[in-house]
Amino acid sequence: MSFDLVFFGGTGDLTWRKLMPALFQAFRHGKLPGGGRILAVARDEMSDERYREWLKERFREVEGPKRPSDEEFERFAALVHYRRMDLSQPEHYLRLKEWLATGQAETVVLYLATSPHLFTQICEQLGAAGLNDPRVRIVLEKPLGHDLASAQQINRVVRSVFKEEQAFRIDHYLGKPSVQNLMALRFGNALFEPLWRRESIANIQITLAESLGVGTRGPFYDGTGALRDMIQNHALQLLTMIAMEPPSTNDADAIRDEKLKVLRSLKPFSAETVARDVVRGQYRAGAVDGKAVVSYLDEGKIPAQSQTETFVALRTEVQNWRWAGVPFYLRTGKRLAARDAQIVVNFRPVPHPIFPGTSQANRLVIKLQPEDGLELHLLAAKGGAHGEALAPVSLDLDFDKAFAANRVGAYERLLLDAIAGRLNLFVRSDEQEQAWRWVEPILDAWRLDGGGPRPYSAGSWGPPAASALVARDGFAWAEEH
């Protein structure tokens, strides 16, 4: 299947740090369809050869095993082209159309790796130039909007130019193999589904923790914050995959219909419940991995009085028959004690304990990063003296070891899916808008709250109030067990 893949923002960080290395891995693995061309467009004046040289220099920063040899890069670079393009100039889109016509590809993928405020302008110009025929797919990188109104405006413009099945709203978390295994775990096995309900599960915790600070993203992050950056998209998508009903088929719309039902079933927030069930924090100076780090307010280009949150923990419920009364705890933050993304399913204790000692409830831990796998925590007898207390044991599955030869990175998977037209791992507009609709009361409440975020030390697990949020229900975060 011949294809043309165009990166708008071809000299930006996202393109050279994530997208081009992911495409190279697909090329190296022999998964990139034949007859393809990759075009980077940006404002800089460069020839194809100059851009390839520029890209080769950037590839030196790719982690070792994923770095191409000179011979590999030369073969990959033969697919890569460059054009100067001013995104505000209609004639430049017409020239792009002429370039694409020279290849007559069966599929054209237009990837907007630009600032989101350019999305509407680019889509309108693409429509005016006629670059929206059925073979064209548009990939929209997150964040898609800053709030519900801006997300709806972007979607209105996208829908005025492209059909819904041509729009690929990307959330790179959905491309992670471990996230794809959520579907396989639930709907490819009979073991857990009978237990996947309120009668067996006490609570579910989703943690997306980072030990890094904001780094060079200071100005962007200060205008975004942890709620928009991680909860509205990544964490909510994980929640929907954990809580959704079994779809009738593995078809994209069947899956996304069920995810949308979960989002619509989430307990809505009011000003009162935001104060009770949402904790926001901002890191202060501390130590991470034994190294002293500065406060968020001392990071580069951060306003001295910034009230942007770098940490969020919240409690919610899915109000339906399967999950009624089961708390879902979502947590994300920067400069936390570890880089750790995981989903913890805490089962209820046995109804009538017959063994001595403290009885620990079973737990299923779905590890997303840095490891990728499953842990099932059980209790077992050591086989010693009569009447001994049970001891905790765990079954541990490391997907990276189990499937070492077939692992595909998140962006590699999503780029290949966009080329192939597979929408399963992309977000539909009504899903995305419903997620914004759910988080907006939190943003509104914070806007009226002069107290600002709670401070927490870098290298900790966030403000103490986050622990109190869970303890109020008689539970604890996974690391506190």
Other residues' Cβ atoms within 10 Å of the Cβ of residue 279? 23
CB-based contact 251:257 (threshold 8 Å): no
Other residues' Cβ atoms within 10 Å of the Cβ of residue 350? 12
Task: Tell me the C-alpha distance between 264 and 435, whole Å.
Answer: 9
Kind and range of the H or E element at 121?
helix 119-128
Which position has the token pair 């107290």?
Answer: 451
DSSP string across 21-72: HHHHHHHHTT-SPSSEEEEEEESS---HHHHHHHHHHHHTTS-GGGSPPHHH
Kindly list the catalytic residues: 234
DSSP string across 344-367: EEEEPPPSS--SSSPPPPPEEEEE
The SS3 call for residue 150 is: helix
DSSP string across 260-282: HHHHHHBPPP-HHHHHHHEEEEE
Task: Tell me the C-alpha distance between 149 and 301, whole Å.
Answer: 28
Which residue type is seen at 78?
A: A
Say which DSSP state 64 is in. G
The pair of three-digit structure tokens given for residue 463, joined into one six-digit string: 């403000």
Say which DSSP state 66 is in. G
